[in-house]
A and B are shown apart, each in its own frame.
Chain A
Amino acid sequence: MAMFNREEDGSRAAETVIGSSVKVEGNFVGSGNVVVEGVVNGTLKTAKDLRVGDAAKIKADVEAANVVVAGEIHGNVKTSGRLEVAASGKVLGNVEAAILVVMEGAIINGKVVMMKAGEAAAAAPVPEKKRTA
C-alpha cells in the first residue's frame, strides 16, 4: 500500500505508535502518521495517515488524511483521502471518504458518504485492488 511504503521499507518510521499493550483514553490529536496496535478510547485525529492494526480496538471517532483499517473501529471515520478496510477490518460507524476500498470479508455497519473529488485535500494514489461485489 503506497501510503505506508515508506514505513514498511524502514526508511522512515511512523511518528506515533500505540503498541499492543497500551491504552490511550481521551482526545488524541497528532500531526504525523499514526499506527494503532492497542486500544484507543475517545477521539483520534491526525493531519497525516492512520493505520489500525489487526489487533487494535478503537472506540473513537477518527479523522485522518488516509486510513487503513485492519482492526476494529467503533465510531465514525472521516478521511479527505482514501479509506481502506482490510479483510480483518471492522468499522461500526459512519464513514466519509473520497476513495473507499473494502476487501472481501471486511465489515462496515453505518452510513457511507463519498466525498466529491474537489473536497479531497490529498488523495493517495490508487493501486489495483479487489473490490467487493
Chain B
Amino acid sequence: MYYYLFDSVASDKKYESLMNRIDFRLIELGLNGRMDKLTILKNMRELIEAAIKRGAETVVIAGDDESITKAVSILAPYNVTLGIIPIGSNQRIARALGIPDGEAACDILSKRVVKSIDLGKVNDQYFLFSLDIPAQAVTVECDGHYQISVLGLPRPFSICNFQPESRSTSSNPEDGILEAVIDDEQSRGMFRKLRTGGATVLPLKRAKIQCATASIPLMLDGHTVVKTPATVEVAPKKLRIIVGKERQF
C-alpha cells in the first residue's frame, strides 16, 4: 500500500500543472494510495506514523532534499520502503539515487528497484549523508581503538555515510562503513567535493564525539541538531529505498 506525502513546496502555483501530471501518471501506473499535503498544521512525523499504522508499506515523499532527509530519519525505525518524487529546486539526493524530475519519477516507483542502504545513527537520530561537526576543539574516538584530532587551529569536519560527489572509493551507502572526513575547504554544505590531496578520509563503524569545554551542536544532513557528547555508528542496510538505474552507487 502506497502513501504519498507532498511537501509544502508542492502547493506552490508554479507546480500545479506538474502535480496534475503526477496524479494522472500514478493512476495510469496503478500506484494509487492515500495522499496528504504538509501544512503548518500537519506535522510530518505524525502523518507518516499514522500512515504506517494504517498499513502503508511504501511512503513516497514528494519534495526536496530537506523533506527527504527529514523523512529518512522518521522512517528508519520502521520496516517500510521510501520512494521519492522530486519537486522543488534542491534535488541532489534524487540525482544521487538516479530519480528523474517530474512525472518520470512515477515510472521509477513503478519499476520498484529497491536497495537497502546504510544510514548513520547518532544518539537516537538517523542521517543519510553526513553529520557535520563545527570547528571546535573536539576529540573523536573511533571504533574504540584510536582518536582523531586536528593539529593547529580547529577545523570543521564530518562523519559521512554517503558522498555522491566524492572521489573517495568508500563513498557507497551499501558498504557498512562511515567515513570521518576533514578537508581544507572553508565553505561547507551537505555535499562537498573532496580533493584527496588535502582531505583526510578515515573509514570507521563507530565514533564517540566529545568536546572538553562545552556541549556543542552537531548538524545532521544540514537540518537536525544533536549535542555532544554523541555516539555515531553505522546502521547497515537500515533503509529500503526505491532507486533509479542512473544512481551514483
Contacts and interface: CB of A to CB of B under 8 A. Distances in A.
Interface string B182-208: 111000000000001011111100000
Contacts of B200: 17-19, 21-22, 38
Given A15-B170, A15-B203, A17-B201, A22 B148 contact: yes
Interface residues of B, number: 23
A1 interface: no
A16 interface: yes
Nearest to B170: A15
B155 A28 contact: no
Given A21-B152, A22-B151, A23-B151, A30 B203 contact: yes
A19 B145 contact: no
A100 to B, nearest CB: 28
Contacts of B170: 15, 32
Interface in A20-43: 20-30, 32, 38-39, 42
B150 A28 contact: no
Given A21-B155, A22-B200, A32-B203, A15 B169 contact: yes
Given A13-B169, A32-B203, A39-B151, A19 B146 contact: no
Contacts of B203: 15-16, 30, 32
A124 interface: no
Interface string B118-155: 00000000000000000000000000011111111001
Contact of A21 (B151, B168, B169): B151
B146 A14 contact: no
Nearest to A19: B200
Contacts of B146: 24-28, 42
A17 B147 contact: no
Contact of B169 (A12, A27, A38): A12
Contact of A23 (B148, B168, B201): B148
A14 B196 CA distance: 8
Contact of B145 (A23, A29, A38): A29
Interface of B: 145-152, 155, 167-170, 182-184, 196, 198-203
23 contacts: A13-B167, A13-B168, A13-B196, A14-B196, A14-B201, A15-B168, A16-B201, A16-B202, A16-B203, A18-B200, A19-B198, A21-B150, A21-B152, A22-B148, A22-B149, A23-B149, A23-B151, A26-B146, A28-B146, A29-B145, A30-B203, A38-B200, A39-B151
Pairs A-B, 4 closest by C-beta atoms: A26-B146, A19-B200, A22-B200, A17-B201
